Structure 1
Amino acid sequence: MACATTTGFPRICLIADDETQGAQIVILEDGKLIAGDFVRLIDDSFAGTPLELDAEGAAFADGFFYIIGSHGRPRHESGVDDNAKIDARAKASSQLFRIRFAPGSIDMKTGKLTAQPEKTRSLELAGIIRAQLTPFAESPLEENGVTVEGVAVRDGFLYAGLRGPVLEDHRAIILSVPLSVLFDHGAGDATQLRPELGVDGMGNARGVRDLLVYEGRLLVLAGPVNDPPKGQPIKLGDYTVFSYGEGAEKLLDLEGYGNEIKPEALLPIGESDGSIRALLFFDGPAGGQPTSIEVGFK
């Protein structure tokens, strides 16, 4: 989830929805979230059935929202071996969108649209991922394959945070790509940042679960590449918030919020006594179970 402003209320925000074909407008008020209109981004289908964008990240910078698909191969499904369907699902998720809402086109009380936004699609990142991460690009997540799960934009660059793969030295991968390459056919090179995000309480490597820019610095919500087994409790420090600059600096070990309640997104909403006040969203509970936390920020 990302918002167009970082101070004051209400705020226009956009939330990525990994089980639909787009994203949803949210109005953030002090102590309340208002669900607004849905913004359709794709219309991909297979055998007459709509396919998910598998949107996993949202960002805002310089007047534009960005929504990114997972760019990964689907997880294995029991009894499903249709290569054509798997390829279609992977193609549907390998898209990136830049979205701009005209001033006054969103009702600040309801989140309803009065005019459709400008939407620009990019397919360039998929090719960059294949070139940069060839050994992992065709593998599903459970085999340490590519899955994008966070996006941030800063100073003309897009940063794609990968949940997987994680390298042998327990370093995760963040791809840095000039926006001009992705949206304007410009020249430039993609580079890899490799933060060391450690392991969870079971010794499993952690990748990027969300990525954002705060006060010019990258913040990483880190968690295990693969979800814990069903019924396995999530414990203190399995998920952690890092600041990433020259290296990864731990800011907060997140507590366990219950079995199969997995931290999925982080949204800063203000500061208090040197700490970031933020909303933490989860994969598992209905509605994402937004929970207020404080993250020390040096």
Structure 2
Amino acid sequence: MDTIPIRFVDDHLVIDIAESLSTVRSDGRHLWLGGDETVTIERVTLAAAGDAFEEHVSFPVGDFLPLPEPADEDGVVPEIDIEGLDLAGGYLWFTGSHARTRKRVRADHATEAALARLAKISNNGNRHIVGRIPVMSTPDGPVLVASAPDPAHPGEMLTAAALGLSKSTRLTRELREDPHLGPFLRIPSKDNGLDIEGLAVVGERIYLGLRGPVLRGWAVVLELRAAGADGQNLVLAPFDDGAVYRKHFLDLGGLGVRDLMADGEDLLLLAGPTMDLDGPVRIHAWRGAARAETSVVVRDGAIEKVLDVPYGDGVDHAEGITLMPDPAGFGRHAVLVVYDSPAAHRRQHRHEILADILPLPAACR
């Protein structure tokens, strides 16, 4: 296993993004990254020597889309909790977690304070977004823009749009009456409630991986289909049965989905615990995922474990995977892994984090 540092601009961030990385996607020599405590998407570039990612640039999502939750009295905008990124059709796609949260109890909280915090559940509208932002090539690398000419379709424009810019367009409104997922919408994420972690786009198909709920050991992947946009509101196209989503149930050995990545017609899934636990953590391959034409139960030969991912004791929770850029010399089928709650050895310098590079087995090459 190799490692590679990702370096952020030390005076650029209010939030230490290196401590809270939640998703990553490669784009040539560049990485796009999201964090669970920010309202920005980060871009870094592989150094000429291929030994580090640097040249950090930050893109506030609010520069391209009107976020549902405004800044508070201190000027702080509630986080989007970006848990998935993908590149498709000239866009960078992203998703928030759609999760409710329960207050964390810390070691210095007395009993009464701890009980009060455990009773407090919050719901932040900025987390309820599934969006896309146009990517434009420049001499300094790819940048996010509100709109841009579509290079694949001359005369047409790419425009930023999202689900969830208002309560009436949230994905969770579609899920409220769902017999499998509806009961979990009001449950906090760390209690096996709804928690989207992972996004992959294949053609018109948008896949959302659920860390939770895990139902009797079965993980869930949602599939949506985009029909375009009405202004800045993303519009979903119904499937043949009239539903605007499909549900796929996967046997991941009792684990939930922590990230998704398209690999041709397959999906690679980073799987880990749904609850506040350390491991195990694995990468699975769902073979032929993009060929499914109905909701499916995925087991046996259609799903296979590809490799185990390291994890620590209270640290190093793998959150994002992406294929390593070719110029780094690791080959197309090495996977880069980023971690939330990184172990101390990953923080050798301020605002720098070490990511792992794991070779995928021959079956994935």
Report the TM-score range of the alignment, normalised by the length of the smaller protein: 0.7 to 0.9
Structure 2: runs of 5+ lacking an equivalent: 1-23, 105-113, 148-159, 165-169, 288-297
Closer, same or farther: CA 18–288 of 1 in aligned 2, 3 Å: farther
- Specify the SS of the correspondent of 2:187: coil
- Aligned residues of 1:270 and 1:276 also touching (Cα < 8 A): no
Deviations 1:18-68 (A, max 9, x none): 111121122234332124322112452464242111111111112111111
Scaled by the length of structure 2, what TM-score is found? 0.67
Counterpart check, 1:41 vs 2:61: yes
Show the counterpart of 2:167. none
Matched residues in 2 for 1:181 and 1:143: separation? 34
1:251 aligns with 2:292: no
Larger RCO, structure (CA 8 Å, separation 6 or more)? 2
The reply to whether residue 196 of structure 1 matches residue 196 of structure 2 is no
- State the percentage of identical aligned residues: 24
> In structure 1, what is the Cα distance between the partners aligned to 2:313 and 2:353?
13
1: CA distance between counterparts of 2:90 and 2:131?
14
CA distance in 1, matches of 2:275, 2:119: 24
Moved beyond 4 Å, runs of 4+: 80-83, 270-275
RMSD between aligned residues: 2.8
SS at match of 1:128: helix
Contact 1:65 1:100 in 2 (8 A): yes
Indicate the residue corresponding to 1:32 in structure 2. 52
Structure of larger gyration radius: 2
What do the CA deviations read for 1:216-263 (whole angstroms, capped 9, x no partner)? 3100000011122xxxxx56xx10010013532101022345542111
Selected match of 1:187 from 210, 220, 238? 238
1:138 matched to 2:186? The reply is yes
| 1:170-249 mapped onto 2 (5 Å cutoff) | 170-180=217-227, 183-188=234-239, 189=243, 190-198=245-253, 205-228=254-277, 234=278, 238-245=280-287, 247-249=302-304
Q: Taking structure 1 as the reference length, what is the TM-score of the superposition?
A: 0.81
Does the CA-based 8 Å contact 1:175-1:193 persist in structure 2? yes
Asked if 1 retains the 8 angstrom alpha-carbon contact of 2:196 and 2:210, the reply is: yes
Give the residue type in structure 2 aligned to 1:215. G
Opposite residue 227 of structure 1, the aligned amino acid is D
Matches within 5 A, 1:82-121: 86-87=122-123, 89=124, 91-104=125-138, 107-108=140-141, 116-118=145-147, 119-121=160-162
Cα distance in 1 for partners of 2:189, 2:362 equals 31
Once the two structures are TM-superposed, the CA of residue 181 in structure 1 deviates from its matched residue by 7.3
Residue 213 of structure 1 aligns with an amino acid whose one-letter code is A
**Secondary structure at the residue paired with 1:127?**
helix
1:231 corresponds to: none
How far apart in 2 are the matches of 1:82 and 1:257? 29
- Structure 2 residue 15 is matched with structure 1 residue 15: no
Distance 1:295 1:258, change over 3 A: farther
